[in-house]
Amino acid sequence: MDVYAAIDARKTIRDFSPREIKPSTLKKIIAAGFKAPSNNHMREWHFILLQDKEKRKALLDQIIHPVDFKGATAIVDNWGLTDEKQRTTYIEAIPKQYNMLYTAGALIYPCYNQPTPLLKPKNLSAMNPLVSIWCCIENMLVAAAAEGIFGVTRILFEDERKILKKFMKVPSGFEIPCHLAIGYPAGNAKRLPQVVINLDERIHMNGW
């Protein structure tokens, strides 16, 4: 698939079919991640695949507390969001958090070397390892789209970050930026409307 077509196809979904992803396809997607640039040129990245459903449940039961449509609406109201597309996306997404991670064809935890305190950076350069792993993750999502596989990321809250690292026995010095769930879309999976961007209003020549 042409790279622009893959980028255009890449979409966030939260409803997965039970179809399995071939191990060779997963390796291909992760290999695409390793093509991303890294801050120290060493690509100090590792990937945990949590494929055992019993272990997934044991983890998710500790860190995800299901919220229904009414609860999701209350959360969005509390945030003060007014844009309808933004509100709709959150209200659709929040109640699906547990199920999307449990049913995904692959639940991946990217791990990266973080030599300085993650939440207390001294300067922008201290954020380089985190920025690099996100370049890697986006490569993976675009590569997955080229295979007809889509996914979703969920950023970790601080309490679940600690639980997750202990559960996965992540070595000291490594961090996990997100849950990365990918899989083939269910029949009812849909791409929610996105905010329309006018490029001419977003591109600034030689200064803002």
Q: Is residue 129 part of a domain?
A: yes
Q: Quick one: pLDDT band at residue 125, thresholds 50, 70, 90?
A: very high
> What secondary structure, in 3-state letters, does 135-148 show?
HHHHHHHHHHHHCC
Name 113's bridge partners: 174
Report which of 76, 77, 1 is spatially closest to residue 32, judged by C-alpha positions. Answer: 1
Residue 193: pLDDT band by 50, 70, 90 thresholds? confident
Mean pLDDT score of the chain: 94
Q: Is residue 163 part of a domain?
A: yes
Task: Tell me what pLDDT residue 100 has.
Answer: 96
Which CATH number belongs to the domain containing residue 23 in this structure? 3.40.109.10
Asked whether residue 175 is domain-assigned, the answer is yes
Contacts with 79 (C-beta within 8 Å, 6 or more apart), sequence order: 90
Q: In the chain, how many domains are there?
A: 1
Residue 208 lies in a domain: no
**What does pTM read for this prediction?**
0.94
115 domain residue, yes or no: yes
Q: Alpha-carbon distance 183 to 151, whole Å?
A: 6
Task: For residues 127-134, give the mean pLDDT.
Answer: 96
Average of per-residue pLDDT across 146-159: 94
Residue 207 lies in a domain: no
Read off the pLDDT of each residue in 71-91 and give the average, rounded to a whole number.
Answer: 94
Q: Which residues contact 21 (CB under 8 A, 6 or more apart)?
A: 105, 106, 149, 182, 183, 184
Q: Which domain holds residue 61?
A: 3-202
Q: Is the pLDDT of residue 150 over 80?
A: yes
- 165 inside domain: yes
Residue 101, Cα to own-chain centre: how many angstroms? 10
Q: Does residue 80 have a pLDDT over 90?
A: yes
pLDDT at 190: 81
- Whether 55 maps to a domain, the answer reads yes
